[in-house]
Chains A and B, each alone.
Chain A
Amino acid sequence: EVQLVESGGGLVQPGGSLRLSCEASGFAFSRYWMSWVRQAPGKGLEWVANINQGGGEKYHVDSVRGRFTVSRDNAKNSLYLQINGLRAEDTAVYYCATTANGYFDHWGQGTLVTVSS
């Protein structure tokens, strides 16, 4: 059974940083593209970033480029999202997901990031 467990969220002040983690199990992690998708309170879903199997190809949505960086460690079956320069509008639940051809076939339960002073 595919399992994705996110962690690392919390309350952070504007301008602060966080590192989100996603631990994967139940499938061959190193064979999959992986993504981060977020949902702001009361809003819909927004793709944030994705990364290819080896970690050499990465893409980020325009609104986070330069502030967020996706990475992975296949030896640890883990996906990461380094978030810097946090803004109030980054407040959201952040999900990791396996990615197939541009859509998301398995998701974690998410980790909440709250940006507030």
Chain B
Amino acid sequence: EILMTQSPATLSVSPGERVTLSCRASQSVNSKLVWYQHKPGQAPRLLMYGASTRATGVPARFSGSGSGTEFTLTISSLQSEDFAVYYCQQYNNWPQTFGQGTKVEIK
């Protein structure tokens, strides 16, 4: 089973700041990596698939990069609605596995 490790666990930021979240896989997952946004009491939302392709309706301030074992999700200018927990997930190997999440909170 591939272990996904996200860092940091919590990120305290101010609106308007640039945010970079990291996700590392224990072995190569090629580009089969997705990012989700999850707010309390809501359904998780797919943000990015194939490491760098935005899902339908996702604002352009979100971007993803990386391949192999190192991936990043960048939010160019954090908006109030972006405060949430972000999860990465690999789908290169069975079973698909998630990182433990990065909480983006208001500073």
Q: Which of A's residues lie within 8 Å of B, judged by CB?
A: 4, 43-47, 59, 61-62, 95, 100-110
Contact among B46, B92, B101 for A44, CB-based, below 8 A:
B101
Taking a contact as CB atoms under 8 Å apart, the answer to whether A47 and B44 are in contact is no
Residue of A nearest to B48 (CB): A103
Residues B89 and A103 in contact, CB atoms below 8 Å apart: yes
| B-side interface size class | 20 to 34
> In the complex, which of the residues B32, B38, B45 contacts A102, with contact meaning CB atoms closer than 8 Å?
B32
Contacts of B36 in A (CB 8 A): 45, 104
Q: Note all chain A residues with C-beta closer than 8 A to B87.
A: 44-45
| A44 and B43 form a contact (CB under 8 A) | no
Residues from 70 to 107 in B contacting A, C-beta threshold 8 Å: 87, 89, 91-92, 94-101
- For B89, the closest partner residue in chain A by CB is A103
Contact call B98/A44, Cβ cutoff below 8 A = yes
Q: How far is the CB of B61 from chain A (nearest CB, A)?
A: 20
**Inter-subunit contact A45/B98 (CB<8 Å):** yes
In the complex, which residues of chain B have a beta carbon less than 8 angstroms from the beta carbon of A59? 94-95
> Are B55 and A95 touching (Cβ within 8 A)?
no
- Can you list 29 A-B pairs with a CB-CB distance of less than 8 A? A4-B43, A43-B100, A44-B87, A44-B98, A44-B100, A44-B101, A45-B36, A45-B38, A45-B44, A45-B87, A47-B97, A47-B98, A59-B94, A95-B43, A95-B44, A100-B49, A102-B94, A103-B34, A103-B91, A103-B96, A104-B34, A104-B36, A104-B44, A104-B46, A105-B49, A105-B55, A107-B44, A107-B45, A108-B43
Which residues does chain A contribute within 8 Å of B45, judged by CB atoms?
A: 107
B42 at the A/B interface (Cβ < 8 Å)? yes
Report B-chain residues with C-beta under 8 Å of the C-beta of A101: 91
Q: Closest approach, in angstroms, between the C-beta of B37 and any C-beta of chain A?
A: 11
Closest partner residue, chain B, to A107 (CB atom): B43
- Rounded to whole angstroms, the CA-CA distance of A46 and B99 in the bound complex is 9
Question: A99–B45 Cα gap in the complex (Å)?
Answer: 13
Residues of A contacting B97 with CB < 8 Å? 47
B44 touches A103 (CB 8 A): no
